[in-house]
Amino acid sequence: MDSTCAHGAGTHVSEETLHASLRRAEEIAAREGEKWTPSRARVYELLLRAGGPVKAYDLMPTYSDDKTTKPPTIYRALEFLENLGLAHRIPSLSAFTACRDGGPTHAASFLICKCCGSAEEITPDLGPMIARAGSRRGFEPHAATLEVRGLCRSCSK
């Protein structure tokens, strides 16, 4: 990130929205026959509160009051959330973000500011196109992430 850029800030999530999202996630886990554990709920809550991309190690200090959380705890929860379509990994940022739009099979797409590092999830209708391209090659896609780099509104001013 360039120090001359505006500082990227996450979007604030209201307590009402936070609790509704956590309830929805628990319902999705139950529907998929998965267990919604306190650890998974806490990591999802932290992602929602972050409002944007966050590295797994950055979740550790706020995960619990005793500060003894180990990386595997966070990574296992993130993998679970990603598999259910509740979170996305943004490879180029080595970060994760709560999913705003789809489920486990939608094509996650992000507008990433090369200046402040903010990332906004967008929903172009790429899933069917990716499925067709894969099918023509005998490939069954399970996940796709598109990253578009540029400048956000704040940094382009």
Burial grade of 147 (CB within 10 A; 0-12, 13-18, 19 or more): middle
Kindly state whether residue 1 falls inside one of the protein's structural domains: no
- In the chain, the percentage of residues whose pLDDT exceeds 90 is 57
Q: Is residue 6 part of a domain?
A: no
* CATH code: domain of residue 116: 1.10.10.10
Is 94 part of a structural domain of the chain?
Answer: yes
Average of per-residue pLDDT across 101-108: 64
Domain assignment present for 137: yes
- Domain total in the chain: 1
Give residue 62's domain range: 15-156
pLDDT tens for each residue of 20-74: 999 999 999 999 999 999 999 999 999 999 988 999 999 999 898 777 788 999 9
**Is 70 contained in some domain?**
yes
DSSP assignment of 59-77: HHHHH-TT----HHHHHHH
Residue 7 forms part of a structural domain: no
- Whether 141 is in a domain gets the answer yes
